[in-house]
Chain A
Amino acid sequence: AQSVAQPEDQVNVAEGNPLTVKCTYSVSGNPYLFWYVQYPNRGLQFLLKYITGDNLVKGSYGFEAEFNKSQTSFHLKKPSALVSDSALYFCAVRDAYNTDKLIFGTGTRLQVFP
């Protein structure tokens, strides 16, 4: 079965420090991986995706993610966190058989403290 795991319910980081939000996946075939962010009472905003190519993907708002095939991971990173980055982050993978269906993790709440 295809799945996404976000092992941390919450990540706390001080403003200005680097942040990492973890994601691991299990899929058949080549993975198409996505990160979305959700602010309170809002829909999901697309941050970045990995389809193929460079393992380091750069996205919106200074975020990047590193694809690691051997560890089946796709961790979201940012060199210097902002208070305004505080939100709920979702990792998702495209279903290999249901190709436009996204399978989401349970989300990680990022709290950036001033």
Chain B
Amino acid sequence: DAGITQSPRHKVTETGTPVTLRCHQTENHRYMYWYRQDPGHGLRLIHYSYGVKDTDKGEVSDGYSVSRSKTEDFLLTLESATSSQTSVYFCAISEGYDAGELFFGEGSRLTVL
């Protein structure tokens, strides 16, 4: 299994509070991604990173920010959580541009009350 660790794995928070999810990889892969998974929508890309301090928006980036200060860590922040951000969040990594396979972490389940 690819060395991807997500934390926390489960979190319950209240509307309006900030939340940060962490993704840590030991594969030294250049590309890292944050997806959210919701029933009927599959996996939708929030943000991705193609290198340290290099990030870009995905399909559903509103309300989310990311940071990557080290190759191995990619942080997803919800500045002010809303109930619509209740979801399962997956981090993924890939070796590089057009590298094909994405390797996924085990997910972080976030509930916003």
Binding partners A and B: no
Chain B interface residues (CB < 8 Å from chain A): none
Chain A interface residues (CB < 8 Å from chain B): none
